[in-house]
Chains A and B, each alone.
Chain A
Amino acid sequence: MNQHQALYEYLLRLGDNALILGQRLTEWIGHAPALEEELGSANVALDLIGQARGWLAYAGTVEGAGRDEDTLALQRDILDFRNVLLVEQPNGHYGDTIARQYLFDAFHYPLLEALHGSSDQHIAAIAAKSCKEAGYHRRRSAEWMIRLGDGTTESHTKLQRSVDTLWPYTGELFTTDEIDRALQSSGVAADLTAVQQAWDEEVARTLKTATLQRPAAGWMQSGGKQGRHSEQLGYILAEMQFLPRAYPDAHW
């Protein structure tokens, strides 16, 4: 794999993570537990989908095949999606959504912070803007982790189960493959070991404050980054991509 291909794949990973998680959050709109949470979820979704546009537009440029962010988002099939499995997991109840969000935000923020220093100027620029947003996201989801973890017995039990269920999807966030290696030596990609360290500390701190147990280390799911997804993603795409696929010659 050459640098060019690796860069394209790397951008898809960044863009697809933001896109799929943003898409999941929009499912909540109109159905959130409180009005303030309608506003909060919408803000996070707006940020993430905005970031996805940036990453995917750049991916399209790098690919050089004339595909823009919409073509990449709305007319690519499941085998070519590169998001981690964590973000495609179903919304479940609000605790499931918060746990998924927090486990991702705790990774997203240090990742973007590292990419702020990328040798690729486009990446550095997108990361600079996104990083600020990811900081707000992490703060918000951490606050909710603590509120629900240290709230009522019911909320504690529910959230602990959410964390336990989602935990096996966190390993994939930090796995390094040839794409990362190809780009790390030139300073384009982030060093995931450092990101993992930041994640570990952050998550340990929040779980403790939230009076939650850190699940035992164990077997981890993986495959999303290489295009091997869970069954969930097919349904997300079927819904998200419906219009451009049903009317291929239309502009919207």
Chain B
Amino acid sequence: MAACEPTRTYLRCVSANRPLLSFVSVIRSDFANARPNTDLMTHNIDVSLINCIIFRGEPSAVIPRIAGPSFMTGKTLMHTQPAHTEVEPRCSAEALAEREQAFQAKIDADIKIEPKDWMPQAYRQSLVRQISQHAHSEIVGMLPEGNWLTRAPSLRRKLILLAKVQDEAGHGLYLYSAAETLGASREALIEALHAGQAKYSSIFNYPTLTWADVGAIGWLVDGAALINQIPLCRCSYGPYARAMRRICKEESFHQRQGYEIMLTLCRGTAAQKRMAQDALNRWWWPSLMMFGPPDAESSHTQQSMRWKIKRHTNDALRQKFIDQSVSQADYLGLTPPDPELKWNEQTGHYDFGTIDWSEFWRVLKGEGPCNRERIEARRRAYDEGRWVREAALVFGAKQTRRAPGTD
């Protein structure tokens, strides 16, 4: 399996004395010469490679689905559950209880659940919901920063931002693939998003008004995402845990580049510093909301923790983020917009002001500054791209017919 695992290549400027600090996944260059098949649509990434990432370590698991760009392969899409769940035998309540016990025992023993294993329907649903929300967030999350791609202030910044936004697309791809191992299809999940039936992280419903917002997003939003996601690397579901390990590595680069943008601004002109402070003012509270509602109001926390889909509570993670970010803001010479922020000797944490949860619920409901725009942009891209995907599908089918030795 090692042969098909993409490794990261660090992009360096041809001319430069200034190496990019970047983290570009030029996946392509690593296996351009050893491309496993010609079904690829781009020269950079291949379905089977994604499968290698998601399924790594379990060559015996035969996955009865095509994960990835099924529209390229000329094969029909399956909107069904994997075979092993379709044929799940009807069993007595007793037998079911026994299975559930065995399942929970496995989880308690920290044994990973794999796609071919039996799992309770609610566990499967819970994971599909969480993984697909996460995938949608990666994709919608490309938009606010993508907004500055054409206006990045230097070529180096443009390359770094472009690579970052590209990473997010890659994350989306890994995560949709992980969701597909549970029987969901990427197309169906995307259509649910466009129909307003699926959620994504509300943070992406806020606008990016200045270049400093790109810095603030990297620093705070990717930073918060990282804190949320590190525990998921140990999630009980194998494919999700493995996808998260990859993703977290990249998110920490994202956070660093964001912080570096902020640092440059804060050491720059008065206008730049103003931009930086303004961005912090706008992104601070929404970032705190990224950890979800307080534990008392969080509907999924307890069961998710028992299943080890989740390992820490929303409030614990939020506190960790605040503690870390306050000192980072300090170093920048910026002030978070919370007059009640204060170090508490006794708890060893920062005390903070009241979060306006009514804003959180409002934005979640669709009443944020950019909800409409974001979904509309995604829907338009999908609709306007339909003829392209169809053409690829039809061409793929023609190729299959033309190929000698096939029916």
Contact A45 B162 (CB under 8 A): yes
Instruction: Please give, as numbers and ranges, the residues of chain B lying within 8 Å of A53 by CB-CB distance.
Output: 13-16, 155-156, 159
0/1 per residue, A21-42, Cβ < 8 Å to B? 0010011011111111111101
Chain A residues within 8 Å of chain B by Cβ, number: 63
In this complex, what residue of A is CB-closest to B142?
A30
Q: Which of A31, A34, A56 contacts B389 (CB 8 A)?
A: A34
Instruction: Please give, as numbers and ranges, the residues of chain A lying within 8 Å of B14 by CB-CB distance.
Output: 50-51, 53-54, 57, 125-126, 129-130
Contact A35 B69 (CB under 8 A): yes
Say if the beta carbon of B32 comes within 8 Å of chain A: yes
Interface residues of A: mostly helix, strand, loop or mixed?
A: helix
With contacts A49-B162, A251-B264, A252-B211 known, is A29 near B173, CB below 8 A? no
Q: Which of A30, A155, A249 contacts B146 (CB 8 A)?
A: A30
* Nearest CB of B to A41, in Å: 9
Q: Which of A69, A148, A247, A250 contacts B391 (CB 8 A)?
A: A148
Q: Of B55-63, B265-273, B329-337, which binds chain A?
A: B265-273
Q: Of A77-85, A139-147, A182-190, A196-204, which binds chain B?
A: A139-147
Instruction: Please give, as numbers and ranges, the residues of chain B lying within 8 Å of A151 by CB-CB distance.
Output: 390-392, 394-395
Contact A58 B15 (CB under 8 A): yes
With contacts A42-B165, A46-B159, A252-B211 known, is A34 near B388, CB below 8 A? yes
Say if the beta carbon of B221 comes within 8 Å of chain A: no
Instruction: Please give, as numbers and ranges, the residues of chain A lying within 8 Å of B142 by CB-CB distance.
Output: 29-30, 38
* Nearest CB of B to A221, in Å: 24
Say if the beta carbon of A244 comes within 8 Å of chain B: yes
Contact A26 B150 (CB under 8 A): yes
Contact A154 B391 (CB under 8 A): yes
0/1 per residue, B151-185, Cβ < 8 Å to A? 11111111100110110011011001000000000
Contact A50 B13 (CB under 8 A): yes
Interface residues of B in 348-386 (CB under 8 A from A): 377, 380-382, 384-386
In this complex, what residue of B is CB-closest to A58?
B15
Once bound together, how far apart are the Cα atoms of A38 and B163, in whole Å?
Answer: 11
In this complex, what residue of A is CB-closest to B382?
A33
* Nearest CB of A to B398, in Å: 7
Contact A40 B41 (CB under 8 A): yes
